[in-house]
Amino acid sequence: DTGVSQDPRHKITKRGQNVTFRCDPISEHNRLYWYRQTLGQGPEFLTYFQNEAQLEKSRLLSDRFSAERPKGSFSTLEIQRTEQGDSAMYLCASSQGWLAEYNEQFFGPGTRLTVL
Amino acid sequence: SQQGEEDPQALSIQEGENATMNCSYKTSINNLQWYRQNSGRGLVHLILIRSNEREKHSGRLRVTLDTSKKSSSLLITASRAADTASYFCATVATWEGGKLIFGQGTELSVKP
């Protein structure tokens, strides 16, 4: 097991374009979380999944954002009509086990998005 | 929104010295976790302390938790240049689905 992976690692796009990021959690981890981190700040929660069910979305997640986790494995985060304010590092994390919400989360390397 | 506040925001020490970082939070928690982040990279989990624990050790790390004061501290002993990174505390509030609420972090610089 190689840990949580994210793809791409870097994405540069023009304002108004759509982008999609992928996260592959540690296998058999039932919880998957998305966070966003801007420069000089701590990560902020966006949304999380228990298996394939999306259980919570932050108000940071405007209607331009959508996340999925088909079959409870990998997850995708799509941003439509990107804005310069979407520029940030997007981090994915996963956790497992009974009461997974109270266990440590393992983070991927992140996808750095730059919107020109 | 950020729940935690970390103090100091930046800390510069010499190799071999101890580094202490503090974290305060606002709500009732299930546990508090500390993470390290090297510049531009993902977060590495360091240690988790549950709300019924007061102190925990892992190698050169010592974490304390005072739930009455809603505060925690991370002590790194005998620091090394490789410890240079940003350190974040993150809380998991009770019955909030396990999402981590991060502080703004302490930027630690260890000079050789």
Per-residue pLDDT of A79-95, as tens digits, reads 999 999 999 999 999 99
Whether the predicted pLDDT of B2 surpasses 80? no
Check CB contact under 8 Å for A42 and B4.
yes
Range of lowest pLDDT (A57-61, A107-111, B66-70, B101-105)? A57-61
Shortest CB distance from B104 goes to which of A41, A56, A91?
A41
- Per-residue model confidence (pLDDT) at position A98: 60
Which chain A residues are Cβ-neighbours of B50 within 8 angstroms?
102
Could you give the 3-state DSSP secondary structure of residue A75? strand
Mean per-residue pLDDT of chain A: 92
Higher pLDDT, A9 or A61: A9
Q: What is the DSSP string of chain B?
A: ----EEE-SEEEEETTS-EEEEEE--S-EEEEEEEEE-TTS-EEEEEEEETT-SEEEETTEEEEEETTTTEEEEEE-S--GGG-EEEEEEEEETTSTT-EEE---EEEEEE-
Whether the predicted pLDDT of B95 surpasses 80? no
Structure tokens at B76: 């790194």
Whether B40 has its CB under 8 Å from any CB of chain A: the answer is yes
- Per-residue model confidence (pLDDT) at position B3: 60
Distance of alpha carbon B49 from alpha carbon B32, whole angstroms: 5
B79 phi, psi to nearest 5 deg: -60, 155
- Per-residue model confidence (pLDDT) at position A97: 64
Residue A106 DSSP class? E
- Per-residue model confidence (pLDDT) at position B1: 46
Shortest CB distance from A110 goes to which of B1, B42, B48?
B42
Mutate to test the interface with A, among B21, B51, B100, B102 (most CBs of A within 10 A): B100
Shortest CB distance from B101 goes to which of A45, A107, A109?
A45
